Structure 1
């Protein structure tokens, strides 16, 4: 399964497009980070790592996950 990575330096958001059910929770929770019409569509520098971890934990499909960079 294909995985795309978006890093803010200290952590990386992993996105699996095939798993995504497009519930929109990511966009509604952190609209400053998730921009579906732009490329790259995830801009992790627009929120704190804590905010990103909290938001990713709410992803209903499991398409989003977190990897620590250290």
Structure 2
């Protein structure tokens, strides 16, 4: 069964599919205030604007990150 995690800021919901993640690190490099693999939860959507989140997610090479 596929694991899917969702994190919402009220405007946008970030969807993370761990099985697809290639650990390219683009998310951490672009928005380190949002993505911190050492913390739980590792995605803190409240630390960036909806526009910044969408822009970063569009750069995810594996498709592990999405939004709606």
TM over 0.5: yes
1:28 aligns with 2:29: yes
Deviation above 6 Å: which 4+ runs of structure 1? Answer: none
Equivalent in the alignment of 2:50: 49
Number of residue-to-residue matches in the alignment: 67
Q: CA deviation at 1:2?
A: 1.4
Q: How does 1:1-70 map to 2 (within 5 A)?
A: 1-67=2-68
Structure richer in helix, relative to its length:
2
SS at match of 2:42: coil
Could you state the TM-score of these two structures normalised by the residue count of structure 2? 0.96
- Give the whole-Å Cα distance in 2 for the aligned partners of 1:5 and 1:35: 15
Q: CA deviation at 1:13?
A: 0.3
Name structure 2 gaps, 5 residues minimum: none
SS at match of 1:62: coil
